[in-house]
Amino acid sequence: MKLSIVIPVYNEKNTVKNVIRRVQEVDAGMEKEIIIVDDGSNDGTQEILKNMNQPNVKVVFHSKNQGKGAALHTGFAKAQGDIILIQDADLEYDPKEYTRLLEPILDGRADAVYGSRFLGGPHRVLFFWHYIGNKFLTTLSNMLSNLNLSDMETCYKVFKKEILDRIPLKSKRFGFEPEITIKLAKQKARIYEIPISYSGRDYSEGKKIGWRDGLAAIFHIIRFKFFD
């Protein structure tokens, strides 16, 4: 078994080296490759990644910013592992949780695993309206997909490569989250949720997602349920 860890990166010069170090330190119980997709960073991140020289790390550069979804598409196409895991380049999600995230797939129970920030793990106390927005989007997605997820928008998503290969992906920005969820439901994929810790950032620390992305997510939930 081989694990592919796909890391989309955009303007994360302060955290990207630390994230890669922490991912490398994890013993996932299998061979792992790290695929970093720089999505047109202009803050010095590219210079850091160009000096990256580790045998199990692949770095791909987009010439201009296209969005998280586009970076993930590129990473998925390069992945050679049996299992694919998404890791953000900030420090909000802890790679030490990989073992728990992988367990339902390795046990043969799941095709995909979501790491939920709302199932009892420790988390930094931050934005009330972000929490409400997240719960609303998850509820809308659940209503249209007939799932009972608690955290559709989580970064930590893990997939068997064979199920991901059957899903044509289109969203280039944050619409990836509702798109993959709706399409997994259409595939009748077996999805598990695992509680995770969450060390959220505020906007002064580099958080990028905003209310416009929430409105776009509503559009994408409806789009991929009824028109794709």
Q: Which two tokens stand for residue 213?
A: 């992305």
pLDDT at 213 over 90: no
pLDDT at 124 over 80: no
- What residue segments make up the domains of the chain, in order of their start? 2-226
pLDDT at 205 over 60: no
Separation CA 176–CA 196 (nearest Å): 20
The lowest-confidence range among 3-7, 25-29, 82-86, 119-123 is: 119-123
State how far Cα 46 lies from the chain centre: 20
Contact 125, 198 (CB under 8 A): no
pLDDT at 202 over 70: no
Q: What is the pLDDT of residues 68-103, one digit of tens each?
A: 999 999 999 999 999 999 999 988 899 999 999 999
Least Cα distance to 45 among 68, 18, 72 occurs for: 18
**Region of 29 on the Ramachandran plot (φ > 0 left; ψ -120 to 50 alpha; else beta):** left
Which pLDDT score, from 0 to 100, does residue 204 have? 54
The β-bridge relationship of strands 191-195 and 112-116 is parallel
Q: What is the DSSP letter of 51?
A: T
Separation CA 56–CA 71 (nearest Å): 19
Which pLDDT score, from 0 to 100, does residue 95 have? 95
3-class DSSP assignment, residue 31: strand
Least Cα distance to 140 among 97, 132, 7 occurs for: 132
Q: Tell me, yes or no, if the pTM score tops 0.85.
A: yes
pLDDT at 122 over 70: no
* Residues 50-77, mean pLDDT to the nearest whole number: 96
* Residues 129-147, mean pLDDT to the nearest whole number: 92
**Cα dist from 46 to 4, 13, 18, 34, 115, whole Å:** 21, 8, 15, 16, 29
**Cα dist from 63 to 41, 42, 71, whole Å:** 9, 10, 11
The lowest-confidence range among 58-67, 179-188, 209-218 is: 209-218
Separation CA 215–CA 182 (nearest Å): 17
Q: Which class is 2-226 in CATH?
A: alpha beta
pLDDT at 10 over 60: yes
Is pLDDT larger for residue 205 or for residue 226?
226
Q: What is the DSSP letter of 188?
A: T
The tokens 């509680």 sit on which residue? Answer: 195
**For the chain, percent of residues with pLDDT exceeding 70:** 92
pLDDT at 55 over 60: yes
